[in-house]
């Protein structure tokens, strides 16, 4: 079996030389010298016009370096390492079924199992159905989300670890006050981070292009400032895919024990 070629985006040292080579032949020492001689006002990854302009000045032809690098990344790597936060009842099921997409019927059934179990006499089916309708499935069904930085996931996306499904958390938030029904979700499952290899072919071209832009931005910022911090503080790099992730793409998992709760003013929760 061929070894999977994985882009560990959070680890700059693991890919900086690879990406530098992928930028050739357009970006060579002459382009770097031209960049250092007259750096652009802003070195940004979302609009690489500044780099395209330098390449055109040096070589005399137009380029689209973001698209070029994106296509070359597909040739160089099979997958990108992503971290998925969850609160599973049984971790083993993930290694059996993989990561599945949110599906309306199963999500509705799970909400009923939790909130209409008989434990909460203040709730009834009509209240739950209204909450589900208020939240809806339009922007949640059929999607999986990952974060390429595990520290960012734990520090800024703790709601996935503490409350589980974003859909269930939304439903709980729409149930009648005064009780904060979201806190009930902490009674089920265990905070878990799954390290996964997300195939680049699962991602839309523009998503991979965003990572190409961030990579170029980082390399050129480092040329100006060798101490440029990567990743920049408070900056995440998320992934959205619209198909299930097979179980053999889950590499490992672990259980964080100290998680800031973004729904309670980042109060630190000991797990």
Q: What is the pLDDT of residues 110-157, one digit of tens each?
A: 999 999 999 999 999 999 999 999 999 876 778 999 999 999 999 999
In whole angstroms, what is the distance from residue 65 CA to residue 83 CA? 28
Give the pLDDT of residue 255: 98
Domain ranges across the chain = 6-79+203-233, 81-196+248-270
Only one residue has tokens 């599945």, namely: 100
With a cut of 90, say whether residue 258 has pLDDT above it. yes
Torsions phi, psi for 257 (to 5 deg):
-110, -15
The arithmetic mean of pLDDT across residues 175-204, rounded, is: 97
In whole angstroms, what is the distance from residue 255 CA to residue 268 CA? 15
Mean of pLDDT over the chain:
95
With a cut of 70, say whether residue 1 has pLDDT above it. no
The per-type count for the chain, helices as H runs and strands as E runs, is: 11, 8
Residue 68: name the closest of 27, 102, 32 by CA: 27
Q: Are 43 and 220 in contact (CB under 8 A)?
A: yes
Indicate the pLDDT class of residue 53, thresholds 50, 70 and 90. Answer: very high
Which residues, 6+ apart, have CB-to-CB distance to 267 below 8 Å? 260, 261
In whole angstroms, what is the distance from residue 142 CA to residue 100 CA? 9
3-class SS shares of the chain: helix, strand, coil, % to 5: 50, 15, 35
């Amino acid at each position: 079996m061929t070894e999977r070629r994985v882009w560990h985006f959070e680890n700059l040292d693991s890919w900086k030389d690879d990406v530098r080579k992928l930028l050739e032949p357009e970006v060579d020492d002459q382009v770097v010298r031209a960049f250092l001689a007259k750096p652009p006002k802003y070195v940004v990854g979302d609009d690489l016009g500044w780099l395209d302009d330098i390449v055109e000045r040096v070589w005399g032809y137009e380029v689209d370096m973001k698209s070029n690098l994106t296509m070359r990344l597909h040739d160089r790597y099979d997958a990108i390492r992503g971290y998925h936060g969850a609160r599973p009842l049984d971790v083993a099921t993930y290694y059996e079924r993989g990561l599945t997409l949110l599906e309306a019927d199963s999500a509705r059934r799970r909400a009923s199992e939790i909130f209409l179990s008989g434990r909460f006499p203040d709730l009834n089916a009509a209240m739950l159905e209204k909450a589900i309708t208020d939240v809806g499935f339009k922007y949640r069904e059929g999607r999986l989300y990952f974060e390429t930085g595990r520290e960012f996931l734990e520090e800024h996306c703790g709601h996935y670890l503490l409350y589980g499904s974003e859909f269930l958390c939304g439903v709980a938030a729409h149930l009648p006050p005064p009780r904060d029904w979201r806190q009930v979700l902490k009674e089920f499952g265990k905070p878990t981070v799954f390290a996964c290899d997300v195939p680049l072919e699962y991602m839309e071209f523009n998503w991979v292009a965003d990572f190409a832009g961030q990579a170029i931005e980082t390399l050129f910022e480092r040329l100006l400032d060798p101490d440029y911090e990567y990743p920049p503080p408070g900056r995440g790099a998320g992934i959205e895919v619209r198909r299930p992730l097979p179980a053999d793409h889950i590499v490992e998992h672990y259980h964080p024990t100290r998680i800031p709760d973004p729904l309670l003013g980042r109060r630190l929760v000991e797990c």
